[in-house]
Amino acid sequence: MVVQKSTPRQGRTLEHGSFDARETVLVCAAGCRTPSGTLVTRRAACLSERLLPRSMVGYDVMTFVGMQRFAEHRQRDEIKSALWDRYGLDLSTGEISRLAVLFTKYLLRLHEAHSPALRAELARDGGWPTRVST
């Protein structure tokens, strides 16, 4: 692998706050290509593990927004204030809306990935809970 480029990157996470980084992108020295024809590259794992794809916001911020919005029933302005007060992060209300929608998409994929195990556990435990009539 050789250096293809080095680019500035910004990030915002609950863990690190707002930060600036310089990411070095590596490319296969032999000119290797993927089946789609693009060059084989490697990006910094420490950034891709923390930041959402094509975003400067971290997974932890998305999770915070989603939990505040759907578990705590907070409005966008309340979430914006909480992010600023607790973590010093300033996000627009539009970004908060985008993160809330993205949170539901990730949650759906997680649920679908684990539903066979949930079904098996429910079957092992006697099936679905039933409503008791009074």
Reported as a single tens digit per residue, the pLDDT across 21-39 is 998 999 999 988 999 999 9
pLDDT interval class at 10 (50, 70, 90): very high
Q: What is the pTM of this model?
A: 0.79
Do the strands 41-42 and 17-27 form a parallel or antiparallel pair, or are they unpaired?
Answer: antiparallel
Take residue 18 and report the two structure tokens written for it: 């707002």
- Using a 10 angstrom Cβ sphere, with 0-12 exposed, 13-18 middle and 19 or more buried, the burial of residue 90 is exposed
DSSP state of 9: E
From CA 123, how far away is CA 17, in angstroms rounded? 44
pLDDT interval class at 125 (50, 70, 90): confident
End-to-end Cα separation, the chain, in angstroms: 69
Could you identify the residue written with the tokens 């099936």?
A: 127
Q: What's the average model confidence in pLDDT over 56-84?
A: 97
